[in-house]
C-alpha cells in the first residue's frame, strides 16, 4: 500500500519541486526501498526529462532551474510594455547598477531599491556594493550612532530545515554565540534556510517582542515545525548586532544557525581542495608543529651591563595558593626543556610574577627584572614597527594567513656571560635562565630583529613580534614556512588561520576592504562605567586612543576629559565631563571601515588653520 502511494505521488498544480521531493521522501520512509531509494526517487522525479546520464542531485537542480526560469519568463511577459524613452534609457542599463552591482536594469528599477544594507544599515544598496561606497567615503553619513538592527523576515515563505545526520557522518559543528548576553552553543547547519532557537531559550523574559509570522518551517521529510514567531535578539560574535531568530516550540536544546546568518557572523566555507592544499603545504614542514621546545639556530641574545654595576638580589615573593601547583608545573617544564637550570648561589636574583594564560590552565612565569638587570642594562634600540606602517602593507590583500609563533622568547639562547644577570628567586630556590624570557627589557627588540632579518625579502608580509600575517599568495606563505622551519621555530597551530577572508590582527578585524575594531574591545569601551579618579580616566582614554584612527578630531571632541589628566587640574566630574564621556562611546560605535592605504589612489590632505 505504501509503495502504491509512493508510485502514485505526482506534482500538484502550483507545487514546488522542493515540496514534491519532501513529500516523496516522507512516503518512502515506510516503503523499505533500502539501497534502491535513490533510484526510486530518480525515476519519480525525472519523468518527462530526457537525459540518460542523470542522477538524483542533477535532476533536482535541473528541475528547480527550469521552474525558476519559467517563473521569471512569466514575470517578464506580464510586465506592461512602455513606449520608447530614447537612447538614454538604453545606455543606462548597460552600466552596472550601483544598488546591486548587476547589469540589465536601471537603478530606479532595481528590486532592492528599498532594501536595507546589513553592513551600513542604509537603504538602497546591498552589502557587497555598500562596502565599495564606504571605501570611497560617504560625506552624508550622520555622526550620530544609528541603531544596529537588521530585519530580514518580512514575507510569507516556506522554509526547510534539512539538518541531516547519519551514523558515519562527521560530528556536528558548533560555535559559541552570545544571544541577549546569554552564552549559547549554536549548531552550524548549512542545510537550514533560517536560524532557530527553542521555546525555553528565554523562558520568562517579558522584554522580548515575539512577532507573529505566517511563514512555515518544514523538516527534510516535509513535516511542519510549530513556530511561535520571530524575535529580535542581540547576537555577539565578530560583530554585535540585532538579528531576528525563529522561535520554535521544539525544546530539544538544539539551536540552529542557518545559511541566513553565515555572512553576518563572518562564517564562511572553504573548498575541500583549498583545505587539502593547506594541509599539504604545512605537511612539508613537520618540525613547525612539534610540541617540544628547542633552540633557535644561529642566534643568541646578549645584555650589555656595566661591569661596575652593583648586583641586586631579592627574596622570593609569596604567590596565591591557587597558583602553587601551576607554578611548580611550569618550573618543571622549563627545567626539562633546558630553559632554566637550578643554581645554589647567585649575585643577581629577581622575584617572579606568574601570569595566567588565556585558557587559565597554565601560567606564564615572568621575572620581575625591572628590579634587577633592567635598571642597569642598555636597552636594545631596534625599533618595533608602527601599527600604521604594518597596515599600509596590507593593501590589495584578498586572503590572509595569520601565523602565531610559539614560545617566542624562550627559543633564543642567551650568551654565557649574560645568563648570570637573569636569575629568578622562587619558592623552590634559585633558577638561572639559559634562554631569553618574558620581562627582560631588550627581549621584544631582540626578537623583532630576529624575525625581520629571518623573513627579509619576502613580499606581502607583516611581522610584529610573534604575530606574522601573510597576504593570500601561497608562494609567499611557502617561503615563510620554509625559513621558519630552517631555523627551528615553532607555530602555535591553535592560533593560526590560513587563507581566510578576514582575520583578527593586533586588535583589528582585517579584510579586503580595510580595518574594523574588534567587537570585544568596542563592547568593553561601551560598557565602561564613569571614571571616579584620574587613574581610571587615563585607563579608559588609553583604550579609546587605540582606535583613534576611527574617530576624527578625538582630542578636540574629548577636551573636557583630557584636561582632567593635567597634573595641575583637580579631578572634578561634572555634566560637561559626563556628556563628553557618553559622546566618546557613541563615536566608536558609529565607526566606519578604515580602508588600506594604496599609493596608487588619490590622497587628499585636509588641514585646519591655527592661530
Domain boundaries, the chain: 1-71, 174-269, 321-513, 516-595
Q: What is the pLDDT of residue 17?
A: 60
266: confidence class by pLDDT, cuts 50, 70, 90: very low
Do the two domains 321-513 and 516-595 of this chain adopt the same fold?
yes
Q: Under CATH, which number does the domain 321-513 receive?
A: 3.30.70.270
Q: Is the pLDDT of residue 342 over 90?
A: yes
pTM above 0.75, yes or no: no
Tabulate helix, strand, coil % of the chain (nearest 5): 35, 20, 45
More confident residue, 274 or 90: 274
For the chain, what is the total number of helices (H) and then of strands (E)?
Answer: 16, 25
Decide if domain 516-595 falls under CATH 3.30.70.
Answer: yes
| DSSP secondary structure string for all residues of 420-467 | GG-EEEETTEEEEESB--TT-TTHHHHHHHHHHHHTTT-SSEEEETTE
Write down the architecture of domain 174-269 according to CATH.
Beta Barrel (2.40)
Percent of the chain with pLDDT over 70: 58
Q: What is the pLDDT of residue 495?
A: 84
Pick from 146-155, 395-404, 505-514 the range whose average pLDDT is largest: 395-404
Instruction: List the grid coordinates of 343.
Output: 643554581
Where helices occur in 441-545 by DSSP H, the ranges are 443-454, 474-487, 519-526, 534-545
Q: Is the pLDDT of residue 171 over 60?
A: no
Q: What is the pLDDT of residue 68?
A: 64
Cα 293 from Cα 413, distance rounded (Å): 12
- Vertex 475: Cα angle to 469 and 478 (nearest 5): 70
Q: What is the pLDDT of residue 490?
A: 84
555: confidence class by pLDDT, cuts 50, 70, 90: confident
Contact indicator for 66, 16 with CB cutoff of 8 Å: no
Q: Which helix (H) or strand (E) holds 22?
A: helix 17-28
Closest CA to 296 of 256, 236, 330, 339: 339
pLDDT tens-place string over residues 429-485? 999 999 888 888 888 888 899 889 989 888 888 888 888 988 877 788 889 999 988
Angle between helices 37-45 and 17-28 (to 10 degrees): 140
pLDDT tens-place string over residues 275-286? 556 777 878 888
Amino acid at each position: 500500500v505504501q509503495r502504491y502511494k509512493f508510485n502514485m505521488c505526482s506534482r500538484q498544480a502550483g507545487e514546488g519541486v522542493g515540496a514534491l521531493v519532501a513529500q516523496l521522501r516522507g512516503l518512502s520512509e515506510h516503503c523499505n526501498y533500502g539501497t534502491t531509494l535513490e533510484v526510486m526517487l530518480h525515476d519519480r522525479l525525472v519523468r518527462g526529462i530526457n537525459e540518460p546520464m542523470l542522477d538524483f542531485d542533477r535532476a533536482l537542480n535541473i528541475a528547480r532551474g527550469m521552474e525558476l526560469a519559467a517563473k521569471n519568463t512569466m514575470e517578464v511577459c506580464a510586465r506592461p510594455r512602455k513606449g520608447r524613452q530614447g537612447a538614454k534609457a538604453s545606455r543606462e542599463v548597460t552600466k552596472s547598477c550601483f544598488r546591486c552591482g548587476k547589469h540589465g536594469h536601471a537603478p530606479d528599477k532595481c528590486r532592492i531599491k528599498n532594501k536595507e544594507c546589513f553592513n551600513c544599515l542604509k537603504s538602497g544598496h546591498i552589502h557587497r556594493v555598500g562596502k565599495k561606497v564606504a571605501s570611497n567615503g560617504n560625506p552624508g553619513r550622520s555622526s550620530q550612532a544609528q541603531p544596529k538592527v537588521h530585519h530580514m523576515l518580512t514575507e510569507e515563505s516556506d522554509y526547510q530545515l534539512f539538518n541531516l545526520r547519519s551514523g558515519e557522518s562527521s560530528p556536528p559543528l558548533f560555535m559559541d554565540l552570545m544571544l541577549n548576553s546569554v552564552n549559547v552553543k549554536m549548531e552550524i547547519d548549512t542545510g537550514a534556510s533560517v536560524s532557530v532557537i527553542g521555546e525555553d531559550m528565554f523562558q520568562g523574559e517579558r522584554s522580548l517582542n515575539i512577532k507573529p509570522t505566517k511563514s512555515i518551517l518544514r523538516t527534510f521529510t516535509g513535516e511542519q515545525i510549530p513556530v511561535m514567531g520571530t524575535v529580535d535578539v542581540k547576537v555577539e560574535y565578530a560583530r554585535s548586532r540585532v538579528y531576528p531568530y525563529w522561535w520554535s516550540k521544539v525544546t530539544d536544546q538544539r539551536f540552529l544557525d542557518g545559511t541566513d546568518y553565515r555572512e553576518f557572523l563572518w562564517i564562511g566555507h572553504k573548498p575541500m581542495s583549498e583545505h587539502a592544499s593547506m594541509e599539504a603545504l604545512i605537511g612539508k614542514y613537520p618540525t613547525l608543529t612539534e610540541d617540544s621546545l628547542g633552540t633557535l639556530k644561529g642566534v643568541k641574545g646578549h645584555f650589555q651591563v656595566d661591569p661596575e654595576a652593583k648586583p641586586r638580589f631579592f627574596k622570593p615573593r609569596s604567590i596565591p595558593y591557587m597558583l602553587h601547583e601551576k607554578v611548580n608545573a611550569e618550573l618543571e617544564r622549563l627545567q626539562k626543556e633546558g630553559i632554566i637550570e637550578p643554581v645554589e648561589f647567585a649575585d643577581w636574583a629577581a622575584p617572579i610574577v606568574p601570569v595566567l594564560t588565556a585558557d587559565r590552565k597554565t601560567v606564564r612565569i615572568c621575572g620581575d627584572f625591572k628590579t634587577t638587570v633592567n635598571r642597569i642594562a642598555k636597552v636594545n634600540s631596534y625599533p618595533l614597527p608602527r601599527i600604521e606602517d604594518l597596515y599600509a602593507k596590507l593593501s590589495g590583500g584578498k586572503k590572509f594567513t595569520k601565523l602565531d609563533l610559539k614560545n617566542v622568547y624562550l627559543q633564543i639562547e642567551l650568551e654565557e656571560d649574560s645568563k648570570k644577570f637573569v636569575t629568578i628567586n622562587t619558592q623552590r630556590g634559585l633558577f638561572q635562565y639559559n634562554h631569553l624570557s618574558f620581562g627582560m627589557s631588550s627581549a621584544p627588540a631582540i626578537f623583532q630583529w630576529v624575525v625581520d632579518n629571518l623573513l627579509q625579502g619576502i613580499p606581502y608580509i607583516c611581522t610584529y613580534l610573534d604575530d606574522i600575517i601573510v597576504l593570500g599568495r601561497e608562494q609567499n606563505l611557502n617561503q615563510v614556512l620554509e625559513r621558519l622551519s630552517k631555523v627551528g621555530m615553532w607555530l602555535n597551530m591553535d592560533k593560526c588561520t590560513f587563507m581566510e577572508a578576514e582575520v583578527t590582527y593586533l586588535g583589528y578585524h582585517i579584510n579586503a576592504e580595510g580595518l574594523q575594531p574588534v567587537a570585544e574591545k568596542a563592547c568593553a569601551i561601551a560598557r565602561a562605567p564613569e571614571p571616579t579618579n584620574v587613574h581610571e580616566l587615563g585607563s579608559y582614554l588609553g583604550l579609546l586612543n587605540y582606535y583613534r584612527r576611527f574617530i576624527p578630531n578625538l582630542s578636540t571632541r574629548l577636551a573636557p576629559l583630557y584636561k582632567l589628566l593635567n597634573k595641575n587640574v583637580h579631578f572634578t566630574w561634572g555634566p560637561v565631563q559626563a556628556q563628553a564621556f557618553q559622546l566618546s562611546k557613541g563615536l566608536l560605535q558609529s565607526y566606519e571601515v578604515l580602508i588600506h592605504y594604496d599609493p596608487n589612489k588619490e590622497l587628499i590632505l585636509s588641514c585646519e588653520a591655527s592661530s
